[in-house]
């Protein structure tokens, strides 16, 4: 008995009502008593989930009004109250109570009433060691992975094609029929004009006057009744009912009338006009769809009558019920342009298609490594897993406690993480030629400040001499003095010292302010303490810990046959990587290698692409390409020769010689040689004309000049002529190759650093998601692949139809949502299967490691995807793949283009597209965990009972 006091005014006593064999429903007995005089207001019993009204009053005016309720779930029953109570005619408002009164735990889960089920099969016998395994109160069903069992394409025959398809007899088409006028425009790929022809046909304009029927009532009899005949034949169960149904419907007296109907040339002309109407409505997709389906039924019935009364009797074949059912679901094949001499029964010899229409001139041709093809017909199978139970596994550890012993075991797990980020930016400016900033110490900074002063070096009797032998000898000494930049005697020493200290302190302050360090340290410790006390025991104790295993049941479920599409996606993670960069500023893109930038060897580096390489590989060490240098020498009067030194790594290219005579010199003629080229100076003019081409000399170039006004016997010297020579030196191949090699090495080192950073970022990102949830990884992969597949399939419209320049905005942009909904409906996206290409042809794109995280997805160069199509949408999707248009009518009123005839024939071979989920087989597997459980009992497991 449980008592519950409400505001010291009411006591509610309750007790749990035991279950009875007749009523297997728990309940609560209760009584409500007024405190003070123990006046019993009311009592009762509630069972299950019940609401009971309470309304009582006493002679002295005390009342209670409201209700009590019980709530029953699997493990408890709860008593709640919601009522008002108090004294009638009291000056204050009545009191109110609303809340829980008592909760009673059930000793066992309350069984919900369910219909009886067949008994489960008995479990296999287990050993004593497994007798205490805790078994399955938990059951989890989930898809493990879908896979496809591919069935080879069935072989089609001409006979089966005649049963499943209807072809237009193009060789019998009239000269001015819509089909014949479409042919030349198809050869010109003029989609716009083909659409204009269809529109003029539908409006009965020009030569098409009276060709379009508009509705079924204007179709000549008896063809206007063929849609009703089609519906009647769909209900016929046997072929022998066919003729009787036709005779009764057309009110004919004999079979000869039906035969003459099929052979009449007038009727053949009407059927050809029906075909032209069908073609026009096919081009104007979606217009007058009800009449379009009626035209399809007319052609189906006419085809059945032709087969039954014309073609089969000529071939000596028997018309069967199965044949009739196939003809009722026959598919119309839109024609192409037949080759010369081809028959309508052989549409595969068409030279080029009329249908589907060619794309507009503004169609998009996507040059990509991704592609889509109809793959095969396969059985869709899904492996599902179910967690059956947990059970004890191998022995994890054993603790032995001797008699009279007390043992304490402490397990400590410590995890610490340290993260430190340092940002330092030093900026130093000195007035001297040398500047090296290393630290912020006062002594060093003071020296650097003083170093901005003037340094003077004085040499005392310093002389040098060289060999032989080859050696250098220095004689003498030198002294070094440092003076202030402004050696004014009026500047005070204290002022100079203050200036030095201020500059030094400013440098130190700047260095400190520009150095910031962030440090983060976190630590987590888990300690488990166990005490085994056997001090009062009379025997040794043994505690056995066992590993816990999960037992899963893996079942293979067959969903039946499916039409499969195979897609090859190039860089499947590109969209996800771009979204992470845009939304979260996380760069997961793999760096481009030198080979991706057309740098396969050092010779591919040039001055033209150096700036691009610096930006691509984030080169911090700038190595500008060597450029040509210019050197000049001057011969003054009295000099007749000079050696011009060419810098190392350069070669002499061209020379420009300039001569100038001194004042008062009457003759300015001279002859000279530079390198191996002779030149003359005549009255200040140089021959040959500048610039003079040299021979790429290295090391040095000799310059010699001889004047023409020298007396005999004197040294050949020029008098009164000043000669200036400017040589442009080109970069030698050796120096350029050295620069290329240096840059090439810097690029490779920078690329390695970028790859190390990339590996770090991608590993950190992948591991973070892996630790969060493995299902999240699968969700990321499937979502990204779904978007890529959807975009590729939406792009079919842009390729097959294109954009009409006269429409704005583009029709695809307007109808994009309609196409998206169609693809979402037509494909079983939940059963999508895919695999990543972990071994691409390009070794540079090879994943650097393989694990079960996001790395294979992020680093995959391509992915192969298999998409099963919903059976009711097989022909709709096949038409979309070839025409880029959505067909609104239901199967079998969906035509196909002649290019898809073979695939459609394979689809027709499947008799049943069963969508039932049935389990073919299953097996149980044991998955170990890192959990442990204490075994009940101290006996070691004995597996000798298991074979």
| Least confident residue range of 76-90, 492-506, 656-670 | 492-506
- According to DSSP, the residues that pair with 77 across neighbouring strands are 72, 104
What confidence tier does 240 reach under pLDDT thresholds 50, 70, 90? low
Classify residue 374 as exposed, middle or buried by CB count within 10 Å of its CB (0-12, 13-18, 19+).
Answer: buried
- Ordered by start, the domain boundaries in the chain are 2-105, 165-329, 650-731
- Tokens read off for 261: 């109907």
Higher pLDDT, 241 or 210: 210
- Tokens read off for 118: 């067949």
Q: What phi and psi, each to the nearest 5 degrees, are found at residue 375?
A: -90, -65
Q: Is 415 helix (H, G, I), strand (E, B) or coil?
A: strand
- Before 735, cis peptide (omega within 30)? no
> 3-class secondary structure for 96-121?
EEEEEEEEEECCCCCCCCCCCCCCCC
Confirm if 182 and 201 have CB atoms less than 8 A apart: no
- Tokens read off for 804: 């009409």
DSSP codes of every residue in 570-605: ESTTHHHHHHHHHHH----PPPPPTGGGT-SSGGG-
Confirm if 702 and 635 have CB atoms less than 8 A apart: no
- pLDDT at residue number 300: 92
Find the distance separating the first CA and the last CA of the chain, reported in whole Å.
56
- Tokens read off for 829: 């996206």
Q: Is 783 helix (H, G, I), strand (E, B) or coil?
A: helix
Average confidence (pLDDT) over 481-508:
51
pLDDT per position as a tens digit, 200-209: 999 988 888 9
Q: What phi and psi, each to the nearest 5 degrees, are found at residue 607?
A: -65, -25
Residues 6+ apart with CB under 8 A from 152: 376
- pLDDT at residue number 87: 83
pLDDT higher than 80, residue 246: no
pLDDT higher than 60, residue 709: no
- Before 477, cis peptide (omega within 30)? no
CB atoms within 10 A of CB 343: 12
Average confidence (pLDDT) over 32-51:
85
In the DSSP assignment, the letter for residue 309 is I
pLDDT higher than 50, residue 416: yes
pLDDT per position as a tens digit, 570-629: 888 888 888 887 887 777 777 888 888 888 888 889 888 888 888 888 888 888 899 999
């Amino acid at each position: 008995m449980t008592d519950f006091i409400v505001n010291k005014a009411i006591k509610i006593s309750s007790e749990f009502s035991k279950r009875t064999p007749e009523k297997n429903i728990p309940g609560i007995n209760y009584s409500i008593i007024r405190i003070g005089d123990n006046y019993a207001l009311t009592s009762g019993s509630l069972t299950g989930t019940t609401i009971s009204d309470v309304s009582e009053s006493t002679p002295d005016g005390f009342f209670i009004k409201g209700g009590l309720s019980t709530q029953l779930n699997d493990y408890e029953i709860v008593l709640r109250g919601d009522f008002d109570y108090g004294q009638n005619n009291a000056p204050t408002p009545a009191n109110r109570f609303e809340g829980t009164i008592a909760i009673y735990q059930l000793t066992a889960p309350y069984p919900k009433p369910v219909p009886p089920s067949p008994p489960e099969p008995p479990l296999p016998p287990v050993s004593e060691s497994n007798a205490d395994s805790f078994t399955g109160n938990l059951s989890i069903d989930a898809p493990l992975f879908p896979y496809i069992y591919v069935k080879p394409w069935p072989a089609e025959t001409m006979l089966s094609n005649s049963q499943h398809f209807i072809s237009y007899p193009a060789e019998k088409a009239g000269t001015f029929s819509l089909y014949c006028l479409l042919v030349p425009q198809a050869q010109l790929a003029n989609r716009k004009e083909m659409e204009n022809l269809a529109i003029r046909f539908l409006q009965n304009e020009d030569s098409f006057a009276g060709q379009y029927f508009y509705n079924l009532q204007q179709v000549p009899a008896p063809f206007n009744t063929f849609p009703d005949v089609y519906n009647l034949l769909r209900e016929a169960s046997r072929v022998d009912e066919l003729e009787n149904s036709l005779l009764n419907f057309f009110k004919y007296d004999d079979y000869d009338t039906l035969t003459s109907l099929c052979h009449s040339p007038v009727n053949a002309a009407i059927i050809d006009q029906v075909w032209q109407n069908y073609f026009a409505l096919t081009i104007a997709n979606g217009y007058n769809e009800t009449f379009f389906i009626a035209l399809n039924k007319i052609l189906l019935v006419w085809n059945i009558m032709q087969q039954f009364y014309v073609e089969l009797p000529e071939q000596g074949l028997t018309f069967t019920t199965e044949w009739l059912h196939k003809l009722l679901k026959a598919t119309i094949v839109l024609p192409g342009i037949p080759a010369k001499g081809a028959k309508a029964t052989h549409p595969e010899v068409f030279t080029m298609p009329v249908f589907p229409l060619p794309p507009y001139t503004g169609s998009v041709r996507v040059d990509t490594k991704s592609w889509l093809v109809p793959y095969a017909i396969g059985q869709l199978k899904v492996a599902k897993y179910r967690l059956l139970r947990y059970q004890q596994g191998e022995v994890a550890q054993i603790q032995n406690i001797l008699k009279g012993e007390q043992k304490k075991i402490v397990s400590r797990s410590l995890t610490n993480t340290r993260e430190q980020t340092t940002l330092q930016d030093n900026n130093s400016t000195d007035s001297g030629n040398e500047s090296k900033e290393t630290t912020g110490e006062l002594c060093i900074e003071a020296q650097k400040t003083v170093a901005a002063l003037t340094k003077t070096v004085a040499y005392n009797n310093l002389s040098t001499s060289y060999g032989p032998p080859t050696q250098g000898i220095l004689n003498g000494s030198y002294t070094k003095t440092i003076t202030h930049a402004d050696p004014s005697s009026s500047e005070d020493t204290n002022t100079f010292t203050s200036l030095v200290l201020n500059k030094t302190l400013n440098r130190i302050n700047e260095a400190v302010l520009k150095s910031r360090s962030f440090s983060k340290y976190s630590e987590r410790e888990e300690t488990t303490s166990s005490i085994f006390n056997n001090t009062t025991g009379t025997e040794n104790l043994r505690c056995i810990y066992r590993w816990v295993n999960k037992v899963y049941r893996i079942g293979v479920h067959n969903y039946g046959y499916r039409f499969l599409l195979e897609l090859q996606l190039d860089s499947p993670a590109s969209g996800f990587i771009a979204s992470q960069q845009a939304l979260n500023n996380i760069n997961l893109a793999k760096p481009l290698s030198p080979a991706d930038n057309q740098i396969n060897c050092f010779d591919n580096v040039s001055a033209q692409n150096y700036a691009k390489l610096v930006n691509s590989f984030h080169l911090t060490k700038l190595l500008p390409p060597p450029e040509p240098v210019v050197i000049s020498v001057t011969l003054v009067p009295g000099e007749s020769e000079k050696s011009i030194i060419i810098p190392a790594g350069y070669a002499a290219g061209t020379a420009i010689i300039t001569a100038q005579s001194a004042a008062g010199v009457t003759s300015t003629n001279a002859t000279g040689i530079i390198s191996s080229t002779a030149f003359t100076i005549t009255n200040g003019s140089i021959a040959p004309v500048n610039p003079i081409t040299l021979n790429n000399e290295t090391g040095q170039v000799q310059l010699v000049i001889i004047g023409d006004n020298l007396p005999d016997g004197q040294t050949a010297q020029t008098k009164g002529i000043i000669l200036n020579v400017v040589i442009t030196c080109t970069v030698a191949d050796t120096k350029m190759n050295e620069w290329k090699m240096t840059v090439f090495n810097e690029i490779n080192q920078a690329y390695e650093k970028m790859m190390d950073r990339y590996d770090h970022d991608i590993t950190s990102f992948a591991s973070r998601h892996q630790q969060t949830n493995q299902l999240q990884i699968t969700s990321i992969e499937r979502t990204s692949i779904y978007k890529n597949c959807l975009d590729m399939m939406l792009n079919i419209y842009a390729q097959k139809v294109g954009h009409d320049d006269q429409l704005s905005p583009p029709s695809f942009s307007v109808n994009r949502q309609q196409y998206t909904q169609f693809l979402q409906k037509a494909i079983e996206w939940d059963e999508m299967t895919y695999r990543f290409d972990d071994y691409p042809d390009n070794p540079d794109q090879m994943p650097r490691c393989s694990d079960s995280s996001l790395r294979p997805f992020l680093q995959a160069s391509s992915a192969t995807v298999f998409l099963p199509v919903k059976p009711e949408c097989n022909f709709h999707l096949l038409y979309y793949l070839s025409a880029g248009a959505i067909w609104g009518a239901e199967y079998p009123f969906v035509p196909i283009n002649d290019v898809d005839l073979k695939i459609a024939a394979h689809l027709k071979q499947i008799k049943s597209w069963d969508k039932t989920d049935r389990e073919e087989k299953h097996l149980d597997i044991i998955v170990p965990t890192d959990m442990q459980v204490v075994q009940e009992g101290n006996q070691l497991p004995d597996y000798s009972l298991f074979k």
